[in-house]
Amino acid sequence: MRNAFASEVTALAQGNPNIVLLSGDIGNRLFDKFKDAAPERFHNVGVAEANMIGVAAGMAMAGLRPITYTITSFTTARCLEQIRVDVCYHNLPVVIVGVGSGLGYASLGVTHHSCEDVAFLGALPNMTVLAPADAFETRAALRAAVAHDGPVYIRLGKKGEPKVHSSVPEDFKIGKGIVMTEGDAVCIIASGTVLPVALEAGRRLTQAGLPARVVSLHTVKPMDEDLLAQCAARFPVIATVEEHSILGGVAARVSQWMTANQITTTRHIPFATGDWFLKTAGEQDYAREQYGITTDAIFEKVHAAAAARQKIQRTA
């Protein structure tokens, strides 16, 4: 995903002289082509993320379109006040890109985990939150973010994420989910790089006689409420899958929407990180397993919930 980001931001900058790229002391070789194309518009601000956001806000006030890039945990939690006051309060078109989001840097420990970023950035007025699933959605998300008139946060994986699309999705729009597979028994709504796990669970559920609709919810804020309404009206079981805390992410937002709309006939099953720190080291798959974000867990819980609903309907 980061290679796709580097390629796309270079292409966009060649067509838009106002785009400026700010890096927080990473990706220097990654952006060699950008520096060749627009050397005066690349700035490595060093290990000074809060300052980077302030500089970006000033550039946006001057008419430029700044894009900031560094490790997610450092460009979100560390400079939350600058994002809130300098960027969101003034509703400035700054694109904040975090790499290695969620558990992408699981092996480096809690300092590099970012499982709360959607919660606190999503709570800021004017902020749009995007979580692309693969390299193609990354390109689409960046194009949409640059065209958006306001602050946008994009949470990326790190590298090597499997592709779920064969090309850049033409129907990518901020606030509109993408139906990846269609089904009529259960619905799985996944956000970000965990989408392949959801797709595999959906494939197994379909094989087991429960055709599953799987949705890529690349925009966490604003939520696609039309899609949620359609899913709630059609499916007795909806699962949400994300590499983020169960507090303040997709699960919380879907639950909040269901409560507000008095949805009582659909069961919601969340798959997310828990309200606790993972204090053992391991790669991303290990960390997902500790939090129960796996194909097996999704299959078993959704299958059991669907069977229970069918039993209730037969006895009603």
Confidence of residue 316 (pLDDT cuts 50, 70, 90): low
The sign of the CA dihedral 19, 24, 27, 28 is: positive
Distance CA 253, CA 120 (A): 13
Q: What is the DSSP string of 132-178?
A: --SHHHHHHHHHHHHHSSS-EEEE---S-PPP--SS--TT-BTTB-E
- Nearest CA to 280 among 135, 113, 165? 113
Mean pLDDT, residues 281-309: 94
* Tens digits of residue pLDDT in 239-248: 999 999 999 9
Structure tokens at 140: 């689409």
Does residue 163 surpass a pLDDT of 80? yes
Strand partners for 256: none
Does residue 257 surpass a pLDDT of 70? yes
* Tens digits of residue pLDDT in 97-119: 999 999 999 999 999 999 999 99
User: Which amino acid, residue 316?
Assistant: A
* Tens digits of residue pLDDT in 212-223: 999 999 999 999
Does residue 27 surpass a pLDDT of 80? no
In which residue are the tokens 């909806």 written? Answer: 238
Query: Do the Cβ atoms of 237 and 135 come closer than 8 Å?
Result: no
pTM recorded for the entire structure: 0.95
pLDDT averaged over the chain?
95
Whether the link from the prior residue into 162 is cis, omega within 30° of 0, is no
Confidence of residue 281 (pLDDT cuts 50, 70, 90): confident
Name the DSSP letter for residue 25. S
Q: Using DSSP bridges, classify how beta strands 212-216 and 178-181 pair: parallel, antiparallel or unpaired.
A: antiparallel
Mean pLDDT, residues 178-199: 97
**Angle, CA of 90, 77 and 23, to the nearest 5°:** 75
Confidence of residue 310 (pLDDT cuts 50, 70, 90): confident
According to the model, what pLDDT value does residue 26 have? 84
In which residue are the tokens 């700010």 written? Answer: 22
**Angle, CA of 31, 34 and 37, to the nearest 5°:** 155
Strand partners for 208: none
Mean pLDDT, residues 279-301: 96
Confidence of residue 307 (pLDDT cuts 50, 70, 90): confident
Edge-first strand listing for the sheet containing 186-191: 178-181, 212-216, 186-191, 237-245, 267-273
